[in-house]
A and B are shown apart, each in its own frame.
Chain A
Amino acid sequence: MGLQRQEVEKVAKLSRITLAPGEAEQLADQLSRVLDYIGKLNELKTDDVAPLSHALAVANVFRDDEPRESLPVETVLANAPSRTAAGFKVPRVLEGDED
Chain B
Amino acid sequence: MADLLELTATEMTAALERRETTSRDLVAASLARMASLDGQVHAFLSTRSEAARKEAEAIDRRRLAGEKLGPLAGLPVAIKDNLCTSDGLPTTCASRMLEKFHAPYDANVVEKIRAADGVIVGKTNLDEFAMGSSTENSAFGPTHNPWNLDLVPGGSSGGSAAAVAARMAPLALGSDTGGSIRLPASLCGVVGLKPTYGRVSRYGLVAFASSLDQIGPFGRTVADVALMLQVIAGWDGRDSTSVNRPAPDYAAAVRSASAQGLRIGLPREFFAAGLDAEVERLVREAIAVYEKAGAKLVEVSLPHFAYAVETYYIVATAECSSNLARYDGVHYGHRTAEPSDLIEMMSRSRAEGFGPEVKRRIMLGTYVLSSGYYDAYYLKALKVRQLIKGDLDRAFAQVDCLMGPTSPTAAWPLGAKTADPLAMYLSDIYTVSANLATIPAVSVPCGFTAAGLPVGLQIMGDVFTEDRLLAAAAIIERERQDWQRRPGMLAGDGKAVQT
Contacts and interface: CB of A to CB of B under 8 A. Distances in A.
Interface of A: 3, 7-8, 11-20, 27, 30-31, 33-35, 37-38, 40-42, 44, 46, 49-56, 58, 61, 63, 71, 75-76, 78-82, 88, 90-93
B417 interface: no
Contacts of B330: 81, 88, 90
A88 to B, nearest CB: 6
A56 B197 contact: yes
B243 interface: yes
B387 A49 contact: yes
Contacts of A51: 379, 382-383, 385-386
B67 to A, nearest CB: 29
A46 B383 contact: yes
Contact of B366 (A15, A34, A81): A15
Residue among A15, A19, A56, A81 having the largest count of chain B Cβ atoms under 10 Å: A15
Interface stretch (B284-292, B307-315, B453-461): B307-315
B380 A55 contact: no
Interface in B268-323: 304, 307, 310-311, 313-314, 321
A11 B307 contact: no
Contact of A53 (B333, B335, B382): B382
Contacts of A79: 100-102, 104, 331-333
30 contacts: A7-B367, A15-B350, A16-B325, A16-B346, A16-B347, A17-B354, A18-B347, A19-B351, A27-B363, A30-B360, A31-B360, A34-B422, A34-B425, A38-B314, A38-B377, A41-B311, A44-B384, A52-B383, A53-B211, A54-B241, A55-B389, A55-B436, A55-B437, A61-B240, A63-B237, A71-B105, A76-B104, A78-B102, A79-B100, A79-B101
A49 B383 contact: yes
A64 B422 CA distance: 46
Nearest to B386: A52
Nearest to B321: A15
A41 B104 contact: no
Which secondary structure characterizes the binding site on chain B? helix
Given A38-B313, A38-B314, A80-B331, A30 B351 contact: no
Given A31-B363, A40-B310, A61-B240, A93 B383 contact: no
Given A17-B354, A31-B367, A34-B364, A81 B380 contact: no
Interface stretch (B11-19, B120-128, B129-137, B337-345): B337-345
A52 B382 contact: yes
Contacts of B240: 58, 61
Top 6 A-B pairs ranked by shortest CB distance? A51-B382, A81-B335, A79-B332, A52-B386, A46-B383, A61-B240
B380 A33 contact: no
Contacts of B333: 79, 81
B381 A41 contact: yes
Given A27-B360, A53-B211, 20 more contacts: A11-B366, A12-B363, A15-B363, A16-B346, A17-B359, A17-B363, A27-B363, A37-B310, A38-B314, A41-B380, A51-B385, A53-B382, A56-B198, A56-B241, A56-B243, A58-B198, A76-B104, A79-B331, A81-B335, A93-B342
Given A82-B335, A91-B341, A16 B328 contact: yes
A17 B347 contact: yes
A90 B348 CA distance: 14
Contacts of A52: 382-383, 385-386, 389
Interface string B227-263: 0000000000100110100000000000000000000
B370 interface: yes
Contacts of B241: 54, 56, 58
B413 interface: no
A63 B244 CA distance: 14
Contacts of A46: 380, 383-384, 387
B418 to A, nearest CB: 12
Contact of B211 (A17, A31, A54, A75): A54
A81 B334 contact: yes
Nearest to A51: B382
Given A34-B421, A79-B101, A81-B329, A20 B386 contact: no
Contacts of B100: 79
B58 interface: no
Given A17-B354, A79-B102, A90-B342, A41 B310 contact: yes
B115 to A, nearest CB: 19
B488 to A, nearest CB: 37
Nearest to B324: A15
Contacts of A44: 304, 307, 384, 387
Contact of A80 (B332, B339, B367): B332
